[in-house]
Amino acid sequence: MTSTEVDFGADMVPPVPTTKTFEQLVLHPDRATYTQVISALRDRGYITATDLTVVDYLNHPGRSDLPEPVQPERFEVVVSLFDHIRRHRVRIRVQVPAGDPIVASLYDLYPGTEAMEREAWDLFGVVFEGHPDLTRILLPEDWVGHPLRKDEGIGSIPVQFKQAPK
Amino acid sequence: MTVSSDESTTSVTRVSPDSAERVRRRDGSAILRIPDIDTVEAVSLPTGLGTGHQDDERMILNMGPSHPSTHGVLRLLLEMEGETVLRSKPVIGYLHTGMEKTGENLTYLQGPTNVTRMDYASPLFSELAFSLATERLLGIEVPPRAIWIRMLMCELNRISSHLLFQATNGMDLGAVSMMIYGWREREEVLRFFETVTGLRMNHNYIRPGGVAADLHSGWQRDVRSLIDLIPPRLDEYEILLNDQPIFQQRLQGVGVLNPEEALALSATGPILRATGYDWDLRRDEPYLDYEKVEFDVVIGTSGDAFDRFAVRLEEIRQSLRIVEQVLDLMPEGDYRTQDKKVTPPPRGRIDESMEALIHHFKIFTEGFHVPTGEAYEAVESPRGELGCYLVSDGGPKPYRMHIRGPSFINLQTLPHLMHDRLIADAVAIISSVDPIMGEVDR
């Protein structure tokens, strides 16, 4: 990775806790400053949002990589941004509580996140406020539930073979 | 079309943040955002969706999911006025089988069998992204020979995938002989894959720690015959397609995207490069040993369907260049890591040592444990940035496995490309975006 050493977290207002995992910079803003931080990053040259996904930490034994004062919550929205000029990737991890799984949409900043946020809502039930069309994308429109949540079991449909011995 | 050369001279265009604003402004007129159930009613209404005037001729046309030009099961809702497409909505999910959930229930060693089925036209890239992310979490080094085998196989896979594109793109535009030719050459590459991996597709060849098996003796001869076979055929394609007026008229100026829009829509791969934006992860965020081989990043000038076609055609030549260098530079040595944690003991040891037998058994039943953490690794697949985000809880199975499928993201460009174009162009545009539905739906 040809990244120049940059630490954005500290000089942002308010400062954002940062960590490094395997040479990649990770920012941990809270929900209130989430869009503000991403908008600041975009102005600094992170012109494309490569990825957006959610992780459900319900059964996870505990994350040790969260910096002070970030409180772990059940859901975590993970966004990858890329600065093509400095060739630098940054990851943003936001904690989203289970009781109120709402986070602001990035659609206004990066229109390309539209499908990713729809997918995240479809599979995890995290609501992206301000999204133009937050509907199911991979599952049928009348589907109930969000299957990538950890408390959604993996279903199995028993197959009945006519000739099977009883 | 131009070819940009080495790293020192590359420049990435600075993109103004207003591009998102411009894309959004067009969104309303390009993207159809209505649920399925409403379209049923809208189709049956004589006045259609529009403003309610009696002379409003708008209607909703449903295209697919089983339509020959949609490459599988892509369904499109098109809002038409006469023959012009106004707004459109890609409806996906027909191949959704919950592969990310499946990935949470397979060990890291079984993982590649799952991800390889996502992008079935270039399966090795998904395996590679998954393996790189796992290796990152494990903190293991892969021996040089494994790295170079991976590069060889991936570049050949890029060739086979782009050949498939040439075939289907030709078929969609009515150049049916091209379909046969593209398929014919692709089959030669797949034959090599079959010799090396045992399978034509869904190889499960690239695994955490290296590759599944060493190259067979005489692989150089087989690769050499591919290098000799394909370039003259590419010249034939150019005679058949590039200079043909019908082909040009069907593609030139159709589905134009500029670099700012492509970036705002997170598009990657040949779609982004065809707009003239010089970006390739192999060169700009080198993984494996791509910095040790010479190749050019192919970029287009106008960002239309013709450029996307031409970029892919030229990328086959560049991949052949890489393959040729790999042929000369392939190091000797192990084809997988000798780290006892992830690699089972050799067969001979199992007969003499009880511990080796237990160890072997544990690796294949329980799997190896991966330290807690998260990692994102991306590779340049034939369709763009293919990323794998892995979260580990310290167990033998990924806690969360997410694949950033380039086809899924690139599909968002469709409504923008088709807006205000004729319906006949829609077919050419879908084809030029080259989505693989297995990866879109996952």
Nearest partner of B363 among B224, B179, B155, B209, judged by Cα: B209
A65-72: average pLDDT: 83
Q: Which residues of A touch B17 (CB under 8 A)?
A: 42-43, 47
Q: Give mean pLDDT, residues B154-171.
A: 92
How high is the pLDDT of residue B5?
A: 42
B409 in contact with chain A, both atoms CB, cutoff 8 A: yes
**Chain A positions in Cβ-Cβ contact with residue B372 (cut-off 8 Å):** 61, 63-64
Instruction: Specify the pLDDT at position B189.
Output: 92
Q: Which of B337, B330, B405, B437 is nearest to B69 (CA)?
A: B437
Query: Once rounded to an integer, what is the mean pLDDT over residues B352-369?
Result: 88
Is B267 within 8 Å of A114 when comparing Cβ atoms? no
Q: Which is nearest to A49 in space by CA: B278, B412, B383? A: B412
Per-residue model confidence as pLDDT tens digits over A2-53? 334 455 655 666 678 888 888 888 888 888 888 888 888 888 888 889 999 9
What is residue A36's predicted lDDT score, i.e. its pLDDT?
87
Domain boundaries, chain A: 8-129
What DSSP element (H or E) covers B41? helix B36-44
Residue A149 has pLDDT above 80, yes or no: yes
Residue B221's pLDDT band, with cuts at 50, 70 and 90, is very high
- Span B408-430, pLDDT tens digits: 999 999 988 888 888 888 888 99
The number of beta carbons lying within 10 Å of the beta carbon of residue B6 is 11
Strands A102-104 vs A18-21: parallel, antiparallel or unpaired: unpaired
Question: Where residue A156 falls among pLDDT bands split at 50, 70, 90?
Answer: low
Q: What is the pLDDT of residues B107-117, one digit of tens each?
A: 999 999 999 99
Q: Please tell me whether residue B357 adopts helix, strand or coil conformation.
A: helix
Over range B191-220, report the average pLDDT. 91
User: What was the pLDDT predicted at A1?
Assistant: 33
| A139 contact B CB<8A | yes
CB contact under 8 A, A87 and B15: no
Per-residue pLDDT, averaged over B358-367, amounts to: 88
**Which is the CATH superfamily of the domain at A8-129?**
NADH:ubiquinone oxidoreductase Nqo5 subunit (3.30.460.80)
- The pLDDT assigned to B10 comes to 42
Residue B108 is encoded by which pair of tokens? 């890291």
Tokens 């797949």 belong to B190
Q: What is the per-residue pLDDT for B173? A: 87
Mean pLDDT across B331-357: 86
- Average pLDDT (B330-342) is 87
Task: Please state, in angstroms and rounded to a whole number, the distance separating the CA atoms of residues B126 and B189.
Answer: 18
> Strand B84-91 and strand B384-392: pairing?
unpaired
Average pLDDT estimate for B360-374: 89
Dist. CA A64–CA A72, nearest whole Å = 10
Tell me what the mean pLDDT of segment B242-265 comes to: 87
90-129 in chain B: CB under 8 A from chain A: 92-93, 96, 98, 100-101, 105
- pLDDT tens digits for range B33-79: 777 666 666 554 444 454 555 556 677 888 878 877 777 788 888 88
Cβ pair B265:A64 closer than 8 A: no
> What pLDDT score does B136 carry?
92
What pTM value is reported for the model? 0.89
Mean per-residue pLDDT over chain A, rounded: 83
Model pLDDT, residue B278: 87
Domains and CATH numbers, chain B: 99-441 (1.10.645.10)
Q: Residues 128..147 of B with a Cβ closer than 8 Å to A: which?
A: 136
The position carrying tokens 């229109």 is A111
pLDDT at B18 exceeding the cut of 70: no
Q: State the Cα–Cα distance between residues A130 and B67, nearest whole angstrom.
A: 34
B132 vs B318: CA distance, rounded Å: 23
Closest-CA distance, A63 to chain B, in angstroms, reads: 8
User: Given B14, B387, B400, which is nearest A55 (Cβ)?
Assistant: B400
- Per residue in B76-108, pLDDT (tens digit) is 888 888 888 888 888 888 888 889 998 999 999
Interface predicted TM-score (ipTM) over 0.90: no
What is the pLDDT, as a whole number, of residue A94? 92
B343 pLDDT higher than 80: yes
The CA–CA distances, whole Å, from B209 to A46, B270, B291 equal: 33, 30, 21
